[in-house]
Structure 1
Amino acid sequence: MANSAVPDRPVIDVAKGTVSPHLTRLLVRAGMAAGLDRSRLAGLPGLAVLDDEGIRIPTGTILRVWEMLSRLPWGARGGDRVMELWQPGALGVWDYLFPVSGTLEEGFRAAARHFTAIADPSDELRVTRDGGALTVSWRGPYRDLPEYPLIAEFVPHMLLMVASSAAGRRLAPLRVGLPDLASIASGRSAELYNTERVIDADHPSVTFAEADIAIPLPRADPALAAILDRHARLSIEAARPVLGWLDRFHTVLESAVADGPPGLDQVARRLGMSPRTLQRRLNKEGTSWREELERLRRRRVDRLLRETSLSVDSIATRVGFTDSRALRRAIHRWYGHGPPVIRGSGPS
């Protein structure tokens, strides 16, 4: 069984907390066509310069747009309205990785390798072989968000659209996996995914037969594929992040936590403001110092417990708790059980 994972670390560091503007443009256009009030988009970081190909916008911005779309009266349809506006190249260099590849399998592996060209580095596209079948699955840290079912429904559809365009025909997958089957209206799976076999799965996925993934693509171009592979990486490294105030706060908070238990005064000083002003700015964003610190610590603790063998004492130090007892109390408050249960469940 083979697996294709995320890009190299330096690219992830450069792009952390951001996405490309390409998919956001499609989301905004689809939302406007469905009646989204343009005034609700005002002030979202990056949207004013969304046509600039050389930027990366905060991940929070695209999630906010997804949230707005999830509340629109789509009727019997959802995220597929977004792909109605798609044309090859609308997702930037990532789009072009497919048609120039030798086969669809090669295309998906290139797309997984350079998924950060359109997504946040915390999002992962996995390509897995199981016998003659190839499964492409998406994993992102958004499961607790109300808009997650819409995103999860959209991703397999997007993958099918770009792959079908590269193949020159509409592909019929062996199956599609969704973590929320209730999000698919009755009888809609055939229209959306060209298959009636939509199954319950931990992560959104689409599985193709050997006959589809191994056939040479009609526009394969090995020399151009090599050029685009390099360009995909360089475009991420050269992109300019457009960050909002809350993004700067998150960056400073993460840095402060890495140095030990952070204090409100310390973070406010790094941001060049008084503690009272910092609290006021957070309140205007609909959050608080305590909520932000708790959210960051919980995310880090969850990852370290699932993905490392560090002791609870070491994790407490890394995440800024005074000692392991304080960390154990927090874990019980968050999950209702102790660290061994989380560690035993494996990567999320």
Structure 2
Amino acid sequence: MDRRRHFRWEFMVSSAMGDGAMKGTVSPHLTRLLVRAGIAAGLDRSRLAGVPGLAVLDEDGIRIPTATILRVWELVSGPAWETGGSDRVMELWRPGGLGVWDYLFAVSGTLGEAFQVASRRLTAIADPADRLVVTREDDGGATVSWQGPYRDHPDYPVIAEFATYMMLVMASSGAGRRITPVRVHLPHRSPAAPRHLMELFGTRRVEFETGEPSITFARADIEAPLPRADPALAAILDDHARLSVAAARPVLGWLDRFHSVLESAVTGGPPGLDQVAARLAMSPRTLQRRLRDEGTSWREELESLRRRRVDRLLRETTLSVDSIAARVGFTDSRALRRAIHRWYGHGPAAIRASGPS
């Protein structure tokens, strides 16, 4: 009896496991494709000027801020999607265009195995907060869902469409033939003319307003041996994908650099606006404006810094509340206790009792 017919399994790997240092960053590979597609569709290059991370986009071994690719999505979603959308981006892709990650599809034993390892190594191209969830269906097929923390982003519909189509392109590339999915689920409302999406995915079963974006493959496609399967090379590339993330150098965006300067300035006591502005080679007024542009403020950033330091000192030291208040810049212990109640809803003793986080 083929026991695979009689069970349903779900495979999910959080890319954030072991990748805490890469939080808030992505590989530059996909951003390169988006920029090229936007320019090919007529995006004015001057609109890309000043976007953090783009100046080093062609360097190897780096990670750029996730905010960078989201900004690029905002810029290209208009021109690129008016002239072909996901297809326009992926037709620029060639094997290796997403780094080692897309080669994982070529050398795995089956498409099911390919999606498992691609899920496990998703951080090789994406933010650690992104996930692929592969669910085996009762009939032996498999559904690949993409989970990303971007639901409130204005371009989430095009991001979700692209992520789903990219899975289809990767699967077809690995199989060496165009695969027709069983169905496709997209989270947004159906456009007035959904036919172009049916043509894009090669199926009439494109359903809308279904929660997370996903694509379902037939059992025959999931279990068929891939033509270039190479178990030894698959193991090597799997490990290389892991090491490429561990060895990558994050390229800081402006807000990241601000946080770094703020953290270093606090070693000499509560940091002042003038002091931090000078370290960033700008005036205090310019610093406040830049923070507003980032959706924050000096007061909010200083409050967040104080909260992090208080939390660490309470959990990891035996310093008194009076000493912590003096170190972090509160006028006295009562002011610190009021702040802790505002942040957590309870006093410092409860935090200290909970131990290191």
Fold conserved between structures, TM > 0.5: yes
2:339 is matched with 322
For residues 73 and 89 of structure 1, the distance between their equivalents in structure 2, rounded to whole angstroms, comes to 22
For residues 292 and 150 of structure 1, the distance between their equivalents in structure 2, rounded to whole angstroms, comes to 32
Aligned with 2:202 (options 194, 198, 206): 194
For residues 136 and 338 of structure 2, the distance between their equivalents in structure 1, rounded to whole angstroms, comes to 42
Task: Encode CA deviations 1:94-125: one digit per residue, 9 max, x unaligned.
Answer: 01000100000000011100000000111111
What letter matches 1:246 in structure 2? L
What letter matches 1:322 in structure 2? A
| Higher-Rg member (1/2) | 2
| Pair 1:174–1:276, CA change in 2 (3 A) | same
Aligned with 2:164 (options 156, 159, 162): 156
- Listed as ranges, the matches of 1:1-348 within 5 Å are 1-7=9-15, 9-10=17-18, 12-72=19-79, 74-75=81-82, 77-131=84-138, 132-183=140-191, 185-199=193-207, 200-249=209-258, 265=272, 272=279, 278-283=287-292, 285=293, 287-289=295-297, 322=339
For residues 114 and 248 of structure 2, the distance between their equivalents in structure 1, rounded to whole angstroms, comes to 23
Task: Encode CA deviations 1:56-92: one digit per residue, 9 max, x unaligned.
Answer: 1111111111001122263363222100101111111
Q: Is the 8 A contact 2:15 2:120 kept in 1?
A: yes
For residues 292 and 117 of structure 1, the distance between their equivalents in structure 2, rounded to whole angstroms, comes to 33
- Deviation at 1:177? 0.9
| Pair 1:184–1:206, CA change in 2 (3 A) | farther
Q: Is the 8 A contact 1:2 1:129 kept in 2?
A: yes
- Deviation at 1:241? 1.2
Q: Is the 8 A contact 2:105 2:174 kept in 1?
A: yes
For residues 98 and 271 of structure 1, the distance between their equivalents in structure 2, rounded to whole angstroms, comes to 49
Q: Is the 8 A contact 1:265 1:275 kept in 2?
A: no
Q: Is the 8 A contact 1:17 1:58 kept in 2?
A: yes
What letter matches 1:170 in structure 2? R
For residues 80 and 104 of structure 2, the distance between their equivalents in structure 1, rounded to whole angstroms, comes to 34
- Deviation at 1:128? 1.4
For residues 73 and 5 of structure 1, the distance between their equivalents in structure 2, rounded to whole angstroms, comes to 31
| More displaced stretch, 196-205 vs 164-173 | 196-205
- Deviation at 1:142? 0.9
- Deviation at 1:288? 3.2
1:300 is matched with none
Q: Is the 8 A contact 1:3 1:126 kept in 2?
A: yes
Q: Is the 8 A contact 2:37 2:89 kept in 1?
A: yes
Over the aligned positions, Cα root-mean-square deviation in angstroms equals 3.2
Query: Secondary structure of 1:138's partner?
Result: strand
Q: Is the 8 A contact 1:321 1:327 kept in 2?
A: no
TM-score by length of 1: 0.76
Query: Secondary structure of 2:79's partner?
Result: coil
Query: Secondary structure of 1:71's partner?
Result: helix
- Deviation at 1:147? 1.1
Query: Secondary structure of 1:29's partner?
Result: helix
| More displaced stretch, 66-75 vs 136-145 | 66-75
| Pair 1:267–1:157, CA change in 2 (3 A) | farther
Q: Is the 8 A contact 1:179 1:203 kept in 2?
A: yes
Task: Encode CA deviations 1:224-283: one digit per residue, 9 max, x unaligned.
Answer: 000000000111111111112112335678x89xx9xxx985997599468655423313
What letter matches 1:174 in structure 2? V
